[in-house]
Amino acid sequence: MSLCARNFLIPNTLAEADSLDWAPQHSMTDVLIAGGGLAGSALAIRLGHMGFGVELFERSRFPREKPCGEGMMPGGLAALLRLGVAGTLGGEPFSGVRFHFRQQVAAGRFPSSLAVPLTGRGIRRRHLDQILFEEATRTPGVTAYVGARVERPLVEHGRIAGLIVEGSERRASLVVGADGPHSRLRHALSLDVPSQEKWVGMRAHFRLADSQPQAKWVDVYHGPGYELYATPLPAGELLVAALARTAAIHGRIEDQFRTWCTAEPKLRERLEGSRQVSELMAISPLSGGARRSFLPGFILLGDAAGFTDPITGGGMTHALLAAELLAKYAEQHFGKSEAWLAEFDRKRRALLRDFRMLTRIMVTLTAHPRWMAAIMRGLRLSPALFSHLVGVSSGVCRLWGGEHGLQEDVESPQYASVGHLLQNRADS
């Protein structure tokens, strides 16, 4: 089957964009990107603006759903603002994260920073991912396809020379695998490190009763064998996500999800009179990795390069920051020797190190209720410590102090105005 096959041209909301009409004249470009999620689309936009020729392949059509907690942390929000999509984002601002454990509540406000907004935003993934992909479609130099399933890498003389997409060969100097947590390319290149954990993630959306005020926090409820996340969304909607050990699920997953929601008194109260407006979506496993993240001519990006349990809610932020970093490296080194791929990978690991360490600590703590009780007492006594930890997960600061390097040089008028707008709107 050729690339101009049926799949590529099925109308969707993007179908009018000229760039989707397949014209297979050149089979060689600078960069091929598998996966038009956050990491893939953000990279395509940046590379396009730098003058690269990019082909972006997404197997779904937009708008599409994606199981996620939908809480965009300030570091990720700053990365989106730098991409220039601020005007169309929408979303509901929140000031930080609140933990609920038994009768205790601890609140961690996002720390202030010169380079990022003071708030995060709850944004529907079906909306966010579509905005980014559409922006990629409009970016000069980028040709973006929907309904385009990447089948496998094209390997020649020990190098990744391209991709097979819907039966057709595409070639480029660099191939990027941004095809998500269960990356087909990572698997095809035998780079998978399978997950040892048995966790499931699930989520559903609710429209709150008119009398119910929207909270300005992401609320996290710690229960036995599970955590529930409630993220405020625009138009009086609330996303509720659950992360749970498979052993904690008894009977139908929908029934179990409902049981957990009603077992938390504060959440039950918020959901009183609400209406569920999306189907429950689930995903497993919630963590996994890559034996290595690059090969000659090839690099993994975003969740495809390894993903941690979403417990600390920074996955989207770190996918966006890594895309930004990769674009910077490509701008400086593309076309020279490929040693820069290893350098980029080292820098990326450094960028993610603290966030991943914090995630591992959280996963361990939540498995031990006695430790969790002690930690809650500590966080309540020291809001500054909690605020700092929330800053680490949101891409604002380092675990042992200092701001995140990538954010430091960011200051555009557009960013400043949107940042202030959000700060004003998110009261406590």
Ligand X SMILES: Cc1cc2nc3c(=O)[nH]c(=O)nc-3n(C[C@H](O)[C@H](O)[C@H](O)COP(=O)(O)OP(=O)(O)OC[C@H]3O[C@@H](n4cnc5c(N)ncnc54)[C@H](O)[C@@H]3O)c2cc1C
Residues within the interface to ligand X (CB under 6 A): 34-40, 57-60, 66-71, 73, 149-150, 178-181, 184, 201, 203, 241, 283, 286, 302-304, 307, 310, 313-317, 319
Report, in Å, the least distance between residue 377 CB and ligand X: 26
Q: Which is nearer to ligand X, 149 or 207 (CB)?
A: 149
Minimum Å gap between C-beta 215 and ligand X is: 15
**Residue with Cβ nearer ligand X (172 or 272):** 172
Q: Is 382 helix (H, G, I), strand (E, B) or coil?
A: coil
Please say which residue, 184 or 348, places its beta carbon nearer to ligand X: 184
Looking at the Cβ atoms of 278 and 380, the one nearer to ligand X is 278
Task: Supply 103's token pair.
Answer: 């009768």
**Residue 57 phi, psi dihedral angles, 5° rounding:** -115, 120
Taking each helix axis from N to C end, the angle separating 339-366 and 383-393, rounded to the nearest 10 degrees, works out to 140
CB of 211 to ligand X, least distance (A): 26
Element (H, E) at 225: none
Among residues 224, 221, 206, the alpha carbon closest in space to that of 369 is found at 224
- Least distance between ligand X and beta carbon 394 (Å): 9
Which residues have a Cβ under 8 Å from the Cβ of 214 and sit 6 or more positions away? 92, 208, 232, 236, 238
User: Nearest distance from residue 61's CB to ligand X, in Å?
Assistant: 10
Cβ-based nearer residue to ligand X, 319 or 396: 319
- 3-state secondary structure at position 108: strand
SS3 state at 54: strand
The two three-digit tokens of residue 222, written as one number = 């710690």
CA dist list (Å): 163 to 154, 156, 253, 316, 318: 5, 11, 37, 25, 25
Task: Give me the least distance between CB of 101 and ligand X, in Å please.
Answer: 19
Provide the residue type at 176 as one letter.
Answer: V
| Cβ atoms of residues 206 and 238 within 8 Å | yes
Residue least distant from ligand X (Cβ): 37
Report the residue number, 284 or 380, with the smaller CB distance to ligand X.
Answer: 284
Specify which residues 154 forms β-bridges with: 162
CB of 183 to ligand X, least distance (A): 7
Q: How far is CA 42 from the centre of its chain?
A: 11
Could you give the CA distance from residue 43 to residue 59 in angstroms, rounded to a whole number?
17
Q: Name the minimum Å distance from CB 262 to ligand X.
A: 20
> Which residue number, 216 or 380, has a Cβ lying nearer to ligand X?
216
Q: Which is nearer to ligand X, 136 or 161 (CB)?
A: 136
8-state DSSP, 166: T
422 with 121: CB under 8 angstroms?
Answer: yes
